[in-house]
Amino acid sequence: MIRLNQEEKTYRVLFLGRLLIGLVFAYSGFIKLMEPVENFQGGMAAYEVIPYAVIPFLARVIPWIEFIFGVFLITGYLPRLSALVLAGMSWSFVLLILYTRLVTGALPSNCGCFGEGSLIHLKPLQVVVMDVFNTIIALRLTLVKAHPFGLSALLKRKS
Amino acid sequence: MKIDIRLRSVLAGLLLVATLVEIILFMKSRRPVFVPPLPHVAGASVSHGSLKVRGPETAPVKIVEYSDFQCPSCRAVPPYLESLFKSYPGKIQLTFKHFPLNSHQWSIYAHQAAECMNRQGKFWLYQDTLYSKQVEWAPSKVAPVEILARYAKELGADMTRFGACMADVAVARDIYAEKDEGNKRQVSATPTFFLGEKRFVGPKEMLERGDNAFRQVLGLPPKPSAAKKVEPLVPKPLAGAAK
């Protein structure tokens, strides 16, 4: 039987958070990558505060970041960096939604995070709640120095 | 030893990224975007529903629109399309396809009513009413069947036929068949427009890129700022409309 020390026992709760955030981002990125890029482009354009010139670039880059760092977080490869990147993304979504609401006085009826064909449909305000939660957990994961369950920990072990 | 660990870590990372990229590219290549044949109005054999087509069959620009009557963004589209028909008379043909979103509670009722009006030759008038009066029926607490019937009556519909049509499951099946076609084309938001295989999602995309894409088909020089012509771009969502 594997014996866990105190730190590892405490980490088990955070580990669930790590899996949850990783899954949310990996799924969101995967759905967007499977669909034509114009779908996400249109979703971003619905937030009228994003300069139109950068939308085609962002629509191509963001899904890859979500998918790759989501999988990194699940597998525990570069977990601190991945958590930091995803915390930054979660927080930027929160700011985007709040800023759009403030400037235009309106929000798109769908957040544009997952496609119509996906299992998850969220309104922008539900995304704010989810992303605030994600940011807190991801920042907590960034501050943890050792992530025992994961690829990075496995690679650091002496062979 | 430390260099060894770092090297191992970098190689593992590269392998992981390469695998992920390969998986995505492989899966995407196995999922081609479905392109249905262009609709033909006269003498066409239509397998489901009736086509909702505006503009001549000979028009060089053929637009297919997937829209949802309860969607706030879709309300911005008819004035823009109207301006297109005026700017390029005889050059544009528009085909409307039902795409009631799952997130919009009363959408299917509105689409069924519109399809029933289509069968009485009054689709476009009814569509305009649904959008212009979205503020009235969309926030309804109960299914807005009576409101939709009132609109139909105001447009001079045969109410006996309308009532029978509203209760006809086959009509709903036709609507979902159109939505299913949209799903196969990977439509995920409304409004989505197709010009051949080119796709424009949302009114802003249509304004920014659509106009110039039409001009390209027509052999006209591009316009520098198509977006500044039509206001508002996306109307504010109605209270309670976004379900």
State the Cα–Cα distance between residues B1 and A51, nearest whole angstrom. 48
Q: Contact, B146 vs B205, CB < 8 A?
A: no
Residues of A in Cβ contact (< 8 Å) with B189: 39, 42-43, 46, 110, 112, 115-116
CA distance A69 to chain B (A): 10
**Highest mean pLDDT: which range of A6-20, B134-148, B194-208:** B134-148
Q: Over 60: is that where the pLDDT of A156 sits? A: yes
B77 touches chain A (CB under 8 A): no
Q: Do A71 and B192 touch (CB under 8 A)?
A: no
Q: Is A43 on the interface with B (CB under 8 A)?
A: yes
**Nearest-Cα residue of chain B relative to residue A56:** B205
- Let me know if residue A151 belongs to a domain: no
B243 → chain A, closest CA residue = A109
Query: What is the pLDDT, as a whole number, of residue B232?
Result: 44
Closest approach of B133 to chain A, Cα-based (Å): 18
Per-residue model confidence as pLDDT tens digits over B47-63: 344 789 998 888 999 99
pLDDT recorded at residue B38? 55
With cut-offs at 50, 70 and 90, classify the pLDDT of residue B35: low
Round the average pLDDT of chain B to a whole number and report it.
83
> CA of B191: which chain A residue's CA is closest?
A42
> How far is CA A12 from each of CA A2, B103, B159, rounded to the nearest angstrom?
14, 36, 64
Provide the residue range defining the domain that includes A104: 6-145
A1 located within any domain: no
User: How confident is residue A38, by pLDDT bands cut at 50, 70 and 90?
Assistant: confident
Residue type, A93: F
Identity of residue B151: Y
Give residue-wise pLDDT tens across range A59-73: 999 999 999 999 999
> Is B53 near chain A, with CB under 8 Å?
no
Please check whether residue B33 touches A, CB under 8 A.
Answer: yes
Between A92 and B241, the more confident residue is: A92
What is the spatial distance between Cα B175 and Cα B197, in angstroms, rounded to a whole number?
A: 22
Mutation to test the A interface, candidates B2, B20, B33, B188, most A Cβ within 10 Å: B188
Residue A35 token pair? 């669909």
pTM of the prediction?
0.76
Number of C-alpha atoms within 13 angstroms, CB side, residue B214? Answer: 26
Mean pLDDT within B214-240: 62
Give the residue-averaged pLDDT of B24-51.
62
In a domain, A150, yes or no: no
Please tell me the distance from the alpha carbon of residue A88 to that of residue A26, in angstroms, as a whole number.
15
CA distance B183 to B181: 5
ipTM of predicted complex: 0.79
Q: Hey, is the C-beta of A46 within 8 angstroms of any chain B C-beta?
A: yes
* Residue of B24, B183, B242 with shortest CB distance to A109: B242
Check CB contact of B25 with chain A, cutoff 8 Å: no
Tally of domains in chain A: 1
Nearest to A11, CA basis, from A130, A152, A145: A145
Chosen for mutation from A68, A77, A155 (greatest number of chain B CBs closer than 10 Å) is A155
- pLDDT confidence of residue B243: 33
In a domain, A155, yes or no: no
pLDDT higher at A102 or B49: A102
- The CATH architecture of the domain made up of B52-228 is 3-Layer(aba) Sandwich (3.40)
